[in-house]
């Protein structure tokens, strides 16, 4: 009897410590480090709605915008590692900021446990054909090399993926004089592209597809290895002369480092289950994202370090510095 009681107490202690049998028993906070209504917020809310159902507890979205995502990310890095505070991280918070050497109060690798990769967001290069008469990657490179300094590309912000996409393009294509004009968001950048004040943009397919199909801008190529589901008619940069060229943003679920593995695995299982739900996929498809439904915590251990390494090389080649 004493042996049975001791074993039962040990099992109860393990269960309480690791949350295997009781998790979750209260609402979960999903921190999104950007304002409500933006693309990351949209993805987060779509996942949270179904994840609440699968986990049997509310998953509450908490928008903590500021400092290009740093404020919200810092909150999760310092949160208790109990599975009740999660982050929907992005490429900027976990790869581009570190690559640029920005001053961060968190370590993008050491302070987080990767849970599940939710979506990848393909980027697409577009031009104003009235300003820059390129029709594909080869003619774009040719035009930029033959007229150095004539054209300008915009971005939704310095150091963001729309900026880094073209820095990678310049590096791979050997272009030396293509001026960057940063904006505060995609909207103003597209307005100036349509007005002819800048020549080109590299933006997410979700926001660019409508302009391309309306004929107000010309799609040159997507910056993915495979053709984007939202724009299958467009070739990739990789197949158009720059093999292996890839630039996309992403959303990944993170927990604070030290979160029990059993909890991380439970979250991963349910997040992948959400991603496989036909109704959820339909909603995400409308955003132009590529849904990921098979990532594992183990497979993601090297994801962020490899992203930091890749973009650090681009930052070095372009001579970029943090603008803190």
**pLDDT for the residue 322:** 86
Q: How far apart are CA 120 and CA 155, in angstroms?
A: 19
**pLDDT for the residue 90:** 98
E strands, the chain, are: 28-32, 59-63, 85-90, 112-127, 152-155, 179-182, 200-204, 218-222, 248-256, 290-291
Paired tokens of 22: 């009781």
Secondary structure (3-state) at 138: helix
**pLDDT for the residue 21:** 67
Q: How far apart are CA 220 and CA 134, in angstroms?
A: 8
Q: How far apart are CA 55 and CA 49, in angstroms?
A: 11
Rg for the chain, CA atoms, rounded: 22
Query: Of the candidates 67, 119, 121, which has an alpha carbon nearest to the alpha carbon of residue 97?
Result: 67
Task: Give the side-chain half-sphere CA count within 13 A for 205.
Answer: 30
Query: Mind listing the domains of the chain with CATH numbers?
Result: 17-120+249-318 (3.40.190.150), 122-240 (3.40.190.10)
**pLDDT for the residue 323:** 74
Query: Of the candidates 25, 100, 50, 63, which has an alpha carbon nearest to the alpha carbon of residue 283?
Result: 50
Residue with tokens 């570190």, as numbered in its chain: 98
Task: Give the side-chain half-sphere CA count within 13 A for 44.
Answer: 29
Query: Of the candidates 2, 221, 242, which has an alpha carbon nearest to the alpha carbon of residue 123?
Result: 221
**pLDDT for the residue 272:** 99
Secondary structure (3-state) at 139: helix
Q: How far apart are CA 128 and CA 41, in angstroms?
A: 29
- In order along its 324 residues, the chain shows pLDDT tens digits of 444 344 444 444 444 444 456 899 999 999 999 999 999 999 999 999 999 999 999 999 999 999 999 999 999 999 999 999 999 999 999 999 999 999 999 999 999 999 999 999 999 999 999 999 999 999 999 999 999 999 999 999 999 999 999 999 999 999 999 999 999 988 999 999 999 999 999 999 988 999 999 999 999 999 999 999 999 999 999 999 999 999 999 999 999 999 999 999 999 999 999 999 999 999 999 999 999 999 999 999 999 999 999 999 999 999 998 875
**pLDDT for the residue 10:** 40
**pLDDT for the residue 2:** 46
**pLDDT for the residue 13:** 42
Paired tokens of 212: 């391309």
Task: Give the side-chain half-sphere CA count within 13 A for 193.
Answer: 33
CA 260 to chain centre: 25
Q: Are strands 85-90 and 28-32 parallel, antiparallel or unpaired?
A: parallel
Overall size of the chain counted in residues: 324
Burial of 26 (0-12, 13-18, 19+ CB in 10 A): exposed
Paired tokens of 105: 């109060």
CB 270 within 8 Å of CB 75? no
């Amino acid at each position: 009897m004493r042996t049975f009681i001791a074993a039962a107490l040990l099992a109860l202690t393990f269960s309480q410590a690791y949350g295997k049998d009781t998790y979750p028993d209260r609402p979960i906070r999903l921190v999104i480090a950007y304002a409500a209504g933006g693309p990351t917020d949209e993805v987060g809310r779509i996942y949270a709605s179904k994840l609440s159902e699968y986990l049997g507890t509310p998953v509450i979205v908490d928008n903590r915008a500021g400092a290009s995502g740093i404020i919200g990310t810092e909150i999760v890095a310092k949160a208790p590692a109990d599975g009740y505070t999660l982050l929907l991280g992005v490429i900027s918070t976990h790869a581009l900021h570190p690559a640029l050497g920005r001053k961060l109060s968190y370590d993008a690798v050491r302070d987080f446990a990767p849970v599940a990769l939710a979506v990848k967001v393909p980027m697409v290069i577009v031009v104003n054909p009235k300003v820059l008469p390129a029709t594909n990657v080869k003619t774009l490179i040719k035009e930029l090399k033959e007229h150095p300094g004539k054209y300008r590309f915009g971005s939704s912000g310095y150091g963001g993926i729309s900026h880094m996409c073209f820095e990678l393009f310049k590096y791979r294509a050997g272009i030396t004089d293509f001026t960057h004009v940063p904006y505060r968001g995609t909207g103003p950048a597209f307005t100036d592209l349509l007005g002819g004040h800048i020549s080109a943009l590299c933006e997410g397919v979700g926001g660019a597809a409508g302009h391309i199909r309306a004929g107000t801008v010309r799609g040159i190529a997507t910056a993915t290895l495979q053709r984007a589901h939202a724009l299958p008619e467009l070739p990739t940069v990789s197949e158009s002369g720059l093999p292996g060229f890839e630039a996309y943003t992403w959303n990944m679920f993170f927990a604070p480092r030290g979160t029990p593995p059993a909890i991380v695995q439970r979250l991963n299982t349910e997040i992948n289950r959400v991603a496989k739900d036909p109704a959820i996929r339909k909603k995400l498809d409308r955003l132009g994202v590529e849904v990921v439904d098979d990532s594992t915590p183990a497979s993601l251990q090297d994801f962020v370090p490899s992203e930091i390494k890749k973009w650090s090389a681009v930052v070095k080649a372009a001579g970029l510095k943090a603008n803190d």
